[in-house]
């Protein structure tokens, strides 16, 4: 037998769980969207998505849905990924497009060089056991 106050708390908890579920889903969606944009290299759109995800994390903290340290950890991880991707993009400039005629002749020359430079496969040898290694020495 449960008390009236316990029954009421169960009802309140279920309402809160439903309300919090949508906020948590929004957070996860925002983080996933931002990570996809970061990994595809669309950094300008990724920055906007990261800002949106950070905003939703802060909102969840203010509503008491997430603990502040949990949100801080998620934000730090997301921003770290964004900063690494932007630093990598700054270091590696995009390759210059080659004219079509040059690209075709270079591609054929590279393919020919690869086929000529292939080393022959070595014969497979059985790995020695410790006893055989000691005997050989």
Domain boundaries, the chain: 8-93
CATH of domain 8-93: 1.20.58.110
Instruction: Select from 100, 99, 27 the least CA-distant residue to 58.
Output: 27
SS3 content of the chain, % helix, strand, coil (to 5): 75, 0, 25
Q: How confident is the model at residue 91 (pLDDT cuts 50, 70, 90)?
A: confident
Instruction: Quote the pLDDT of residue 109.
Output: 63
R_g over Cα of the chain: 29
CA pair distance 49, 25, nearest whole angstrom: 15
Q: How confident is the model at residue 92 (pLDDT cuts 50, 70, 90)?
A: confident
Of the CA atoms within 13 Å of residue 114, those in its CB half-sphere come to 6
Q: pTM of the full predicted structure?
A: 0.61
13-69 per-position pLDDT tens digit: 999 999 999 999 999 999 999 999 999 989 999 999 999 999 999 999 999 999 999
**128, 136 contact by CB (below 8 A):** yes
Instruction: Quote the pLDDT of residue 132.
Output: 62
């Amino acid at each position: 037998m449960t008390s009236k106050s316990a029954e009421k708390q169960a009802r309140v908890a279920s309402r809160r769980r439903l309300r919090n579920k949508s906020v948590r889903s929004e957070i996860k969606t925002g983080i996933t969207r931002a990570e996809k944009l970061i990994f595809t290299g669309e950094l300008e759109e990724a920055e906007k998505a990261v800002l949106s995800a950070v905003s939703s994390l802060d909102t969840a903290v203010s509503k008491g849905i997430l603990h502040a340290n949990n949100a801080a950890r998620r934000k730090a991880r997301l921003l770290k990924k964004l900063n690494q991707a932007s630093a990598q993009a700054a270091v590696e400039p995009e390759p210059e497009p080659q004219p079509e005629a040059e690209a075709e002749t270079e591609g054929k020359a590279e393919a020919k060089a690869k086929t000529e430079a292939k080393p022959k496969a070595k014969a497979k040898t059985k790995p020695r056991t410790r006893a055989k290694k000691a005997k050989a020495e």
